[in-house]
Structure 1
Amino acid sequence: MTSFQFADCFVRNARLVASLTAALVMCACGGGGGGGGSATFFLPTTQSPAAPAPAGTSGESTVLMRVKPEAVGSNCSWGGARIEAGLDADGNHVLVDSEVTSTQYVCNATASADGLSTLVRMRAEPPGAACAQGGSQVLAGKDLNRNEVLDDAEVTTSAHVCGGRPGGTGAAGPAGAAGSDGRESLLTFAAEGAGGSCAYGGQRVQSGLDLNGNGVLDAAEVTTTAYVCTAAPADTRWVEVTASSVQTEANTGYQANSSTGVTLTLPPSPAVGDWIKVVGVSSGGWTVTQNAGQRIETRGLPGGSDFDWRSAALNGAWTGLASSADGTGLAAVSASGELYTSIDAGASWDLRLTGQAWSGVASSSDGRALLAATNGGALYRSTDGGGSWSNDGSSRAWSAVASSADGSHLVATAYLGQIWISSDGGASWTARGSNRAWRGVASSADGRVLVAGTNGAQLYVSTDHGVTWTARASSQFWWSVAASANGDVLYATVDTGAVWVSTDSGTTWEAQAVSRDWRGIATSADGRYVVAATSGGSLYESRDSGQTWRATSDAGAWTAVASSADGAKVAAGKSGSAIQLGARRVSTTLGTAGSISGGQQDALELQYVGGGVFMPVGYVLANMAFVIR
């Protein structure tokens, strides 16, 4: 058994502390030194051997520290670790609640496991402004570079535990007896087998004072024992289920092996971090159902009801739609002459302008700056969400417009004309490129990357705010284009052709969908969620950056589509019909009515993140899609 000394108020074995603190966050195996999933570390303060104790203190002052898991709550939205420290006032080498003078939290960044360890270290604090008599500084943070050492740049919280009696505000007491000969506090770590103390084994941590000064924690010197338990193995056990239903247990895998199907109900009282796995063995497949108050996050999972649709209370020959980043601000233009805006995600609409043959509309991310184009007229701008408008006095066959996120960089294409660029929100414009049959244009969030499609020629891409343009892809009857926020992912639709995708800012392109009469297309900011319209067919959506597509609406003469930045809200227009507003389902129905189902050879792993929510952390899909309700 090896001893690890804390002589310099610094945890010297970073590897053990990294695994120790990470395990403490994930499990709650009791023991001495705080119990309930905590462990106590302690160190002497920096007194010289045989020096007289400061007034009002005992001869030896020990700093104690303990680390506990922090549940999801007000201190940590997604859980984390709680680090407590204080002076060992009663000298029993156990940090009790009344001795805690410093509490800090190291919180998980998101609900999903980030795989990062929580590290803690202590260092001596010399006498000074922070601690008049000296003491210790407790540092904590996430191991961002995974080197198992808490580097200074990774420290997110720190606190001081000062020498002297906790509280330290009363009158000084009489001088204490002379201090002991600088005895060190020692820790020993040893493997703990699976059993009563730790169900899956772990580490046994013992501590005490080095009374005989031999640098080894002898058995007679042990005053505290704590256990740091290993979490349940990734596949603790697999249970074959041939019955029609089963109540699942946390941290267990289930093999659904019934030709008539198996229904598995989620654990009723899971702890944060608990998981279940299910795999379909027989042709009957499986269904995971929920308890009251539970739901399963489904964003990114293939299948299910992709959108819940509702109709807006207005009709038109829709030629363009635009959305703010959050989906609450919408603008719609019609070839029949109407321009509408909405500030409540399409629940109500205001008619703003009439009498123009509108061909396109674009919006800033906040929905305040709008740019609308007319076929044979002017460009119209609004800076107040559509309340008031001005036009540039031009008269061109404007075919499409696009805007940067802040509304400062604008682009407009003229059919059989040039591409026009503005870098001042539309106050002035500069013509770029050659006269071509321009039909569609899209912009990255900063306006740097632009893509424009022609009717019968190539796509053209600019990576310098439209100053220069390069021909890309092959000649097609391009209809509409879309761009991710960073401009890396670009999309283009072809009239009676495919959907083309570029993942390198337009340098190379690949056809990713079957031939249809494609029309408008829109993407989420990250380029992952895409919705495209077809004339005489359905709306189609992709959740994997255009690699696979599936119908998500009824058939119709779909023309235009717009998306919120997260892809969760979509507006789509049919020619001569009402605008359809779609809300993407990002989870199952709350409570016992919600479920997710898979077939033979389909597998799914779910992990509980708190608040009644389970998240998928892995899946294998042999069939086309999961069924999500």
Structure 2
Amino acid sequence: MAVLALIGSGCDAIDLSRITQRDARTRVRPEPAGEHCPFGGQAFLSGLDQDRDGVLDDFEVSATDYVCADALPGVRTRVRAEPTGTNCLFGGQAVQSGLDLDASGGLDDAEVTSTEYVCATTVTHVLVRVRPVAPGVECPRGGQVTHAGHDANGNGLLEDGEISRKVQVCNEPAPVLSRVRELPGAVAPCEQGGSVVEAGADLDLDGVLDAAESNSADYACGVALAHLRLRHFEIEPGGGYCATKGTGVVAFEDSNGDTLPDPGGYTGTLILCEAPRTHDGDFVVTSAVDLIVLEGIDRLRGNLRIEAPTLPEAILPTLSIIDGSF
């Protein structure tokens, strides 16, 4: 009986909650660059949850392991010759940059993330630098920023301190649409009435040529609306029409319905040059640098003023549309 009493007394004296096993806990925190990880990384902390709150507190940490990041890839650049074309009207250089992800010491094609163009110009020692603009609020379809200035140190690159003019243009590619509408009598230039042929770029891409989008017209005086036919054709760069591509609209009178022009009947042609690079606002030319910047603009939605008496001439090879005055 004495033995049983001893056992019973011993059980009452033991607090089982104090010998219950604690759960192991871990947590991860960022490890800044320093002693443990030269380029930063993560610290994995572990220990027993002594206070059973389900969280590994600082005083409960018994071991720390580090997983360190590799060295950050270096930024690399390379320069390639840029032929005459869309990016550089007179050729130049393409300056490409990106991260050297494979640590090869060079910039591979797959590592290029940014390209700027340093373009030659028709003015000695004047360069332009063109940087693409990603689609966003200002340019929904993207565009480009053009910097221009004198290459003061003669290294063939336009540096930030040499820039004297900056212009942003937005891409606005749009298909050319045409329409024919009736012209009532006693309306110039058709006193007896007739039809008017209109064409323009569908800037809002709604498939309809709105009145505000029509920028070219021809009058078919005395020709009924039902007797007019329209045909579109492509215009390649050069050839005296467009510096870039364009679209031609041929209108002709077909009174007998054979889809061919009537002999001696009305014919007319409208030419619309593509103007994908558009600058909004007035533009004032005061120097040769300003004139060079205009070479990157196809359409000026504003007024153009030339206030440079020392310029012998102003040649604008790509500016095909000026919506304001000139």
TM-score over 0.5 for the pair: no
TM-score, length-normalised on structure 2? 0.28
Q: 1 or 2, which has the higher helix percentage? A: 2
Q: Which has the larger radius of gyration?
A: 2
With CA pairs under 8 Å and 6+ residues apart, which has the higher RCO, 1 or 2? Answer: 1
Q: 1 or 2, which has the higher strand percentage? A: 1
TM-score, length-normalised on structure 1? 0.17
